[in-house]
Amino acid sequence: MSASTRVVLVDDHDLFRAGVRAQLGEGIEIVGEAASVADAVQMIKELDPDVVLLDVHLGDGSGDAVIVQVAPERAGVKFLALSVSDAPEDVIAVIRAGARGYVTKAISGAELTDAVRRVADGDAVFSPRLAGFVLDAFRSGEATASDAELDQLTAREREVLQLIARGYRYKEIAARLHLSPRTVESHVSAVLRKLQLSSRHELTRWAAERRLI
Amino acid sequence: MRIPQVERSGEDVVVAGVCAGIARTLAVDPTFVRLVFALLAFASGAGIVAYVGAWALLPNPNEPEPARRRRRIIGTVLLAWSAILALTGLGLSNSIVWPLLIASAGAVLLRRESRTAGVALIVIGIILFVSHNSRGSATTLLAPGAVGVALIAIAGPWAWRAASDRARAEERADMAARVHDSVLQTLTLIQKDPDDARRLARRQERELRAWLYPSTATGTLADAVDAAAAEIEELHGVRVEVVHTGDAVLDERTQALVLAAREAMANAARHSGADEVSVFVEPNAVYVRDRGSGFDPDAVAADRRGLAESIRGRMERVGGTANIVSTPGEGTEVELHL
């Protein structure tokens, strides 16, 4: 990559932001930090960064509110959700709002750096936990013939997700399934697209519940 | 605002468990509630009608959802009827009871979605009351009656809100206590003894998570693997991340799967040198992976009984398989299938 990746960090805990700042590796520049939805929206529109690292819970709202307000005006900004939450509805809500991936806060510095780069390149980043949620939501036994193409996963996509859930990296998945890393990435992106556009019952229910809170 | 859930009691049943259910929600003795219903029965049988109404209205914990709506309507009508019986039984004339009832219905609607309907009913109640009681001896009752109606309309929702505020405050206090017990204790320990703190912090993270995001299943495969992972973390101070999709009941075969997986986690924690172990659970398979030193599975010393006996032997005895993939320098994955 020629220029460094410009990142805005949105999290309501100072301590956590300091930790991420210290951990992010070379080639990544934190150009701004925000602790609330309102501040984040204004800052992102102003700085137009490559990637926004976004906490799912903020003091004055949830992460998906930031995406909803920013995305229409700044289509180039990519969001990567970062959370301690184990609740599927939190994660699914921020992904459906448009985030390109989700990682847990326990992630190592090197892995986070890698994830930011990949999101900046337009790839989707799934943590093992997110892969588990998605497999649950698209459980094979519940798929019916009437399901639209968007509402089910292909056998290959399922295989890739399973390996992500088992802790494999893209390169390792590619080697195991005799695919190119590029193909693995396109499968994951396809799953992300389905996750965002599917009207599958479980997903809409999660999204609906989230809006009621 | 959360409405406290009243359910009929499934265990403490004299007639249909209505009194015990109400008593449990109010946190009072069931005998007291039964007494109130019995006394009300003397007011032209209002207690009996009220009991039947409450029986229709309150859900039975063991009963499915359908047919609730019709029961709700019947129950509400019966409760209103019992209120009429009770009030006339107390010696109040119809010209007071009916306006009061209409205004109360208005107050209830006011709390739901239909504001306008609620206000309209209250106004109708007051007008009825005034028109029926403005002449003759009842005039003396006009002022206190109107005040009563107004009090119900205002104080009802207020009392409700006060109660739910209190519930929320209690929830907050509970949360504060929880955070104090775990997080603060850990922070204190970090300053004194960083080595122990890591293990303690991890355990408390697990406990806090279990409390915040309670698992819906207990006694299942996923649940048992979670518990095994927690034990290994505790024993070896290594992080074990468990991800699941789907779940299965615990029987002899899945039990063997859990024990084999536990042994695989213990091996990874003991020998791999990795500081994290990934576990993925499916209804009929468990995968345990580390990114540690790895080994040559063919060259494992004969005294490493764990691998041969506790993992392979255990899976084969229940008709399953154990496949171990390991590369020196890259880590190990144990695949367990039923």
Domain boundary (A122, A141, A167) is at: A122
Decide if B246 and A129 are in contact by the 8 Å CB cutoff: no
Instruction: Specify whether the CB–CB gap between A101 and A164 falls below 8 A.
Output: no
| pLDDT of residue B143 exceeding 70 | no
**pTM of the complete model:** 0.61
Domain boundary (A122, A150, A175) is at: A122
CB nearest B287 (choices: A85, A129, A166): A166
- The domain locations on chain B are 18-167, 217-337
Domain match, A118 and A146 both:
no
Decide if A132 and B244 are in contact by the 8 Å CB cutoff: yes
Domain boundary (A90, A122, A154) is at: A122
Q: Within an 8 Å CB–CB cutoff, is residue B71 touching chain A?
A: no
- Best residue of B179, B243, B272, B326 to probe chain A, by most A CBs closer than 10 Å: B243
Decide if B245 and A129 are in contact by the 8 Å CB cutoff: no
Domain match, A105 and A164 both:
no
Q: Residue A193: give its domain's CATH number.
A: 1.10.10.10
Q: Are strands A51-55 and A78-83 parallel, antiparallel or unpaired?
A: parallel
Tell me the pLDDT tens digit for each residue of B272-313: 888 889 999 998 899 999 988 888 777 765 556 667 778 888
The full 3-state SS of chain B, as one line of letters, equals: CCCCCCCCCCCCCCCCCHHHHHHHHHCCCHHHHHHHHHHHHCCCCHHHHHHHHHHHHCCCCCCCCCCHHHHHHHHHHHHHHHHHHHHHHCCCCHHHHHHHHHHHHHHHHHHCCCHHHHHHHHHHHHHHHHHHHCCHHHHHHHHHHHHHHHHHHHHHHHHHHHHHHHHHHHHHHHHHHHHHHHHHHHHHHHHHCHHHHHHHHHHHHHHHHHHHCCCCCCCEHHHHHHHHHHHHHHHHCCEEEEEECCCCECCHHHHHHHHHHHHHHHHHHHHHCCCEEEEEEECCEEEEEECCCCCCHHHCCCCCHHHHHHHHHHHHHCCCEEEEEEECCCEEEEEEEC
According to the model, what pLDDT value does residue B181 have? Answer: 65
* Total Cβ atoms within 10 A of residue B209: 15
CATH class of B217-337: alpha beta
Domain match, A130 and A87 both:
no
* Total tally of structural domains belonging to chain A: 2
Domain match, A92 and A58 both:
yes
Average pLDDT over residues A83-88: 72
Nearest chain A CA: its distance from B278 CA (Å) = 6
Complex-level ipTM beyond the 0.90 threshold = no
Q: Identify the domain containing residue A57 by its residue range.
A: 1-122
- B-contacting residues in A 114-173 (Cβ below 8 Å): 128-129, 131-132, 135-136, 139, 162, 165-168
| pLDDT of residue A206 exceeding 60 | no
Half-sphere exposure (CA, 13 Å, Cβ side) for A84? Answer: 12
Q: Within an 8 Å CB–CB cutoff, is residue B275 touching chain A?
A: no
Q: What percent of chain B shows pLDDT beyond 90?
A: 9
Q: Residue A11: give its domain's CATH number.
A: 3.40.50.2300
According to the model, what pLDDT value does residue A1 have? Answer: 46
According to the model, what pLDDT value does residue A201 have? Answer: 61
Kindly list the residues from chain B whose CB atom is less than 8 angstroms away from the CB atom of residue A139.
245-246
Domain match, A48 and A90 both:
yes
Domain match, A87 and A164 both:
no
- Best residue of A166, A168, A173, A212 to probe chain B, by most B CBs closer than 10 Å: A166
Q: Within an 8 Å CB–CB cutoff, is residue B213 touching chain A?
A: yes
Domain match, A12 and A116 both:
yes
Q: Within an 8 Å CB–CB cutoff, is residue B217 touching chain A?
A: no
Tell me the pLDDT tens digit for each residue of B244-272: 888 888 888 899 999 999 999 998 988 88
Kindly list the residues from chain A whose CB atom is less than 8 angstroms away from the CB atom of residue B289.
166-168
CB nearest A87 (choices: B213, B239, B243): B213
> pLDDT-based confidence at B149, cuts 50/70/90?
low
- Best residue of B226, B238, B245 to probe chain A, by most A CBs closer than 10 Å: B245
CB nearest A167 (choices: B209, B282, B289): B289
Most confident of A106-110, B141-145, B294-298, B313-317: B313-317
Domain match, A91 and A136 both:
no
Domain match, A114 and A197 both:
no
Instruction: Specify whether the CB–CB gap between B56 and B71 falls below 8 A.
Output: yes
Domain match, A73 and A155 both:
no
Domain match, A132 and A154 both:
yes
Chain B residue with CA closest to A168: the answer is B289
According to the model, what pLDDT value does residue A163 have? Answer: 93
Long-range pairs for A165-168: beta carbons < 8 A, 24 or more residues apart? A165/A128, A165/A131, A165/A132, A165/A135, A165/B243, A165/B245, A165/B280, A166/A128, A166/B278, A166/B280, A166/B287, A166/B289, A166/B333, A167/A128, A167/B241, A167/B278, A167/B280, A167/B287, A167/B289, A167/B291, A168/B289
Nearest to B102 by CA among B129, B76, B75, B79: B129
Domain match, A3 and A77 both:
yes
